[in-house]
């Protein structure tokens, strides 16, 4: 099996490799779900308040980063 060969190559047990892979997968999925929940909360807040910045405002701010004329972060508006 691939896992046995990899374990031998890495001088580890197959069980240890599988356990690490599962931990990495679970951490990644937890972060993905947290991001999804934050996105839904942000969408809900926008639906309730209408507060936003435009793409152009955000682009101008980001393009100014690291320049002598760095702009302050855009302010949300309706």
- Which residue pairs, CB below 8 angstroms and at least 24 apart, start in 18-22? none
Q: How confident is the model at residue 77 (pLDDT cuts 50, 70, 90)?
A: very high
Whether 71 contacts 63, CB under 8 Å: no
Average pLDDT for residues 33-47, to the nearest whole number? 98
Q: How confident is the model at residue 47 (pLDDT cuts 50, 70, 90)?
A: very high
What pTM was estimated for this model as a whole?
A: 0.73
Average pLDDT for residues 59-64, to the nearest whole number? 98
Residue 30: predicted pLDDT: 98
Q: How confident is the model at residue 38 (pLDDT cuts 50, 70, 90)?
A: very high
């Amino acid at each position: 099996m691939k896992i046995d060969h990899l374990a031998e190559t890495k001088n580890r047990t197959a069980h240890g490799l599988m356990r690490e892979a599962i931990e990495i997968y679970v951490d990644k999925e937890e972060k993905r779900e947290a991001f999804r929940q934050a996105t839904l909360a942000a969408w809900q807040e926008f639906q309730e308040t209408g507060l936003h910045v435009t793409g152009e405002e955000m682009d101008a701010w980001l393009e100014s980063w690291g320049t002598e004329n760095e702009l302050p972060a855009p302010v949300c508006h309706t």
